Amino acid sequence: MTRADLFQQIQQKKSCLCVGLDTDINRLPKHLLKHKDPIFEFNKRIIDATKDLCVAYKPNIAFYEAMGAKGWESLAKTLDYIPDTHFTIADAKRGDIGNTSSLYARAFFDTLNFDAVTVAPYMGEDSVKPFLEFENKWVILLALTSNKGSQDFQFTKQEGEQPLYEKVMRKAMTWGNAEQLMFVIGATHPEKFEEIRAIAPDNFLLVPGVGAQGGDLQGVMKYGSNDMGGLLINSSRGIIYAGDGIGFAGKAQLAALRMQLQMG
């Protein structure tokens, strides 16, 4: 999916919502367990309930890998079910030496046909470049994450230097352009969005941490938007686990609607 295609979806739906499909077999409503593939059945109903309110879906690959071969099958079926109009993100956080990264890229872009994959930049340019070689596919680079441990390394700096997350962003922008490169910026750092927009005015930002992690949606919208919207704001647990009984999909829809209304 191109940048223009994604922007069109955001404009049409007045939404930059991304629904995270962090589907845990241990948290599924019990009535779904009778199905042959309860993971897919859950995802299918969440997609049906939220597809008119969001522009993207982000399966967290760990939840599917943990199920072995059945999990990969559920993931493939989920991807086939997501409408072609929606942007799909493999939240895989991959990154390795060049030949291995090339295989990761083939797995997520060619075999599974995701639009984007999250990539860890710690190993540098040759670990990221293979993901940037696919036409109309996206690298979403970890820059300033929403977890507590982001303080351990991402803010570190030598005297007079930029913090590490800023170095990562500036360096990565020499590898790829705004048509193929996004950054993960956690909503739990609302005070940083204005300066991050100054660093990367044109790039899309994938923003986790709104909802269950307590990120500030209004602050993100105010300081993180650009002329093309420029944001994909993710909510996972806050939407998909908004309800846990027979009516779980309806509760998910209401949770998604509450977020979408703040974005219109």
pLDDT tens-digit readout, 148-192: 787 777 778 776 678 888 999 999 999 999 999 999 999 888 888
pLDDT tens sequence across 220-257: 888 888 887 899 999 999 999 999 999 999 999 999 99
- Per-residue pLDDT at 44: 98
Predicted confidence band of residue 56 (pLDDT cuts 50, 70, 90): very high
Question: Which single residue is written with the structure tokens 């797995």?
Answer: 107
Q: How far is CA 114 from CA 61, 154, 217, 263, in A?
A: 12, 27, 26, 25
What tokens appear for 187 in the block?
A: 């909503």
What tokens appear for 143 in the block?
A: 């820059």
> Domains, the chain, ranges and CATH?
3-261 (3.20.20.70)
* pTM for the model: 0.95
Mean pLDDT across the chain: 93
Sequence-separated contacts (24+) of 146-152 with Cβ below 8 Å: 146/186, 146/187, 146/188, 146/189, 146/208, 146/209, 146/213, 146/215, 147/186, 150/186, 150/188, 150/189
Amino acid code (one letter) for 72: W
38 has a pLDDT exceeding 90 = yes
Estimate the share of the chain in helix, then strand, then coil, as percent rounded to the nearest 5. Answer: 45, 15, 35
pLDDT tens sequence across 162-172: 888 899 999 99
- Per-residue pLDDT at 214: 62
User: So which residues are the catalytic ones?
Assistant: 93
Q: How far apart are CA 48 and CA 39, in angstroms?
A: 14
